[in-house]
Structures are given as C-alpha cells and as structure tokens.
C-alpha cells in the first residue's frame, strides 16, 4: 500500500467488485467522455483479477481510497511498454476518478504522483509515459501538476464516437516529478 496525505493506493480486493462493476456500467464514471464505452472490459478485468489480482511486476491496477472516509474513488494503473527500446521498457500509466463526486479534490493528482514515485523508486526506469485524448484537459492538468511534459501528438490515433481523435503524449523523466502529497 502507498499512503499519501489524501489517498491510499491499494490492491483490488474481492469486496471492491460491486464498485468497479457499477463504474463500468456508467460511461461518465469509469470511461469518461474521452474513452470508448466498452462494456466487455469489466468482465475481462475481473478475469485478470482472478488470475493475478491485477498486480504483477510488469503492470498493475491499484485503487485510490480516501484517507478521511475510506471510500474508493478511483484508480491508477501501469504497464511496461517496449517503446522506444525493448531492452529498457518504460511504464505507461493511466488513472481515473470514476466517483464523480470526488473529482476536483486533488485525489487524482496525488494518486498519480504516488504512482510515479513508486515506479521511479522500485524500477530501473528513466521515464514514465502517459497518453490521453488531446481534448482531455482535466487529465492533462493532473499530469502537468505532477511534472509531466507534453511531448507530442499522435494524430487521429483513437477512434471514438464515430470519429478519429488525436492523442497527446506526456512524459516524465526521473527527477522531474513534483512532490506527490499535498501536505498534512
């Protein structure tokens, strides 16, 4: 478990599945306006959980639980990608606050900061990357608050809602991250 001042990042537990399944049925919650709504992902996620508990050396999914109430409000995930050098894969991260009432309270920023601190301290990686819809300004603000830099755009890289969308590429180098916790 990884503790901040606002959230605790922890592995998924059996009792978390009703929350995750509820998120998966609400496009605005788990997927948000910038993702394809894919109902088949939650059963696939549960199947992966039964096999590996969604936590392995090469990737994982952790839930963000508020310290003040113990409520699960979101998640962070990471997986190592072999780009641009398969000999030195780097972590690709993602995050979300599907609990709509918990958005805008600093949970995502702290969770992403805690995750990047964990990755840099636990792995021999020099960079962490993240990809987001070029129009997803809230996610971009979170990444920039943690210290990520916008490195480019993959034009028309994702098909969503009947049209091709641009994807913004963000990178964070070791030593560039800002403090994960907000204090307190």
DSSP 98-128: --GGGTTSSHHHHHHHHHHHHHHHHS--SEE
How confident is the chain (184 residues) per 10-residue block, as mean pLDDT?
A: 96 95 77 65 85 88 97 96 88 94 96 97 94 94 97 94 93 91 56
Q: What is the pLDDT of residue 91?
A: 97
Q: What is the pLDDT of residue 32?
A: 66
CA-based Rg of the chain, rounded to a whole angstrom?
16
- Domain count along the chain: 1
In a domain, 184, yes or no: no
Q: What is the pLDDT of residue 184?
A: 45
Q: Provide the domain limits for residue 143.
A: 2-173
Q: Report the CATH number at residue 24.
A: 3.40.630.30
């Amino acid at each position: 478990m990884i503790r901040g001042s606002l959230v605790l990042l922890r592995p998924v537990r059996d009792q978390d599945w009703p929350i995750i399944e509820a998120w998966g049925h609400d496009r605005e919650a788990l997927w948000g306006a910038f993702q394809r709504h894919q109902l088949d992902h939650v059963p696939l996620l549960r199947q992966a959980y039964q096999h590996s508990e969604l936590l392995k050396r090469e990737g994982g999914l952790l839930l963000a639980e508020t310290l003040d109430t113990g409520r699960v409000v979101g998640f962070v995930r990471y997986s190592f990608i072999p780009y641009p050098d398969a000999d030195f894969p780097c972590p690709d991260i993602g995050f979300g606050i599907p609990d709509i009432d918990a958005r805008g309270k600093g949970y995502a920023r702290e969770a992403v900061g805690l995750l990047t601190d964990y990755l840099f301290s636990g792995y021999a990686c020099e960079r962490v990357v993240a990809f987001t819809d070029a129009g997803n300004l809230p996610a971009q603000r979170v990444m920039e608050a943690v210290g990520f830099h916008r490195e480019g755009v993959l034009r028309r890289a994702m098909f969503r809602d009947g049209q091709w969308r641009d994807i913004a590429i963000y990178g964070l180098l070791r030593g560039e991250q800002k403090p994960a916790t907000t204090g307190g």
